[in-house]
Amino acid sequence: MLAMLKNLATCRITGRLDTEPDWPGISVSFEKNETCLVEGVKNVDKDEEVFILSRGIPMLVQTSRFGQVQSSQEEVIIFPKGLIGFESVRHWIIVPDPVGEDVAWIQSIAEEQVALPIISPRKFAPDYKICISNRQLSDLHIRRTDQIYVFSVVSKSGKSLTMNLRSPVVINLTKRLACQVISSENLPIAVPLDLNTLQTLKVAA
């Protein structure tokens, strides 16, 4: 399932990944068709909750939206601090949308009713750029060779669908660690999306 992320626009973090005083944060620029490398989870803090699974043995995740989804430990994404509104939910998997290739879902392992649609922001906002502080990304233990993905969460507002550009989800796919960040820039939190483009989310979102 993680491989399907390659079909969405990807990003690479540019700039020095250090904490020198003259470098308070990093900027994100986007590239497409990067190779996706999947490795084991590393550098997770000892006091963080770790979801114990048998490595390599398939597991079934019960979901209210997709039914039973087969996955494995290698496909679990850990959000050490959860997401906004779901701070206690730390273990997720990526589920491809059954209809639309421009949409993926982050599905909670523990709470079957919790699943959030995500999209590539550059697919719908070509000039999108974001500045993220090192502090917000500290849980991802980013190294220069890591594969970093940035996604916007899709929400339903009345009869409209919107994407949040101010608080994207950042996934370090190399280490399978992720977080939701808040941009230091005054970016919109509810950008309207074309319903004809995201047919699959008309009812589901």
CATH number of the domain bearing residue 116: 2.30.290.10
Q: What is the torsion angle, in degrees rounded to the nearest 10, for the CA atoms of residue 190, residue 152, residue 130 and residue 124? A: -80
Place of tokens 């047919």: 199
Domain count, the chain: 1
Contact call for residues 162 and 193 (beta carbons, < 8 A): yes
Domain, as residue range, for 87: 2-43+50-204
> Average of pLDDT values for 129-151?
89
Q: What angle do CA 12, 13, 14 make, to 5 degrees?
A: 110
CA–chain centroid gap for 83, Å, is 10
> Average of pLDDT values for 86-104?
90
Amino acid at 114: V
Q: What is the pLDDT of residues 166-191, one digit of tens each?
A: 999 999 999 999 999 998 888 999 99
131 pLDDT band, cuts 50/70/90, is: confident
DSSP state string for 138-151: GGG---TT--EEEE
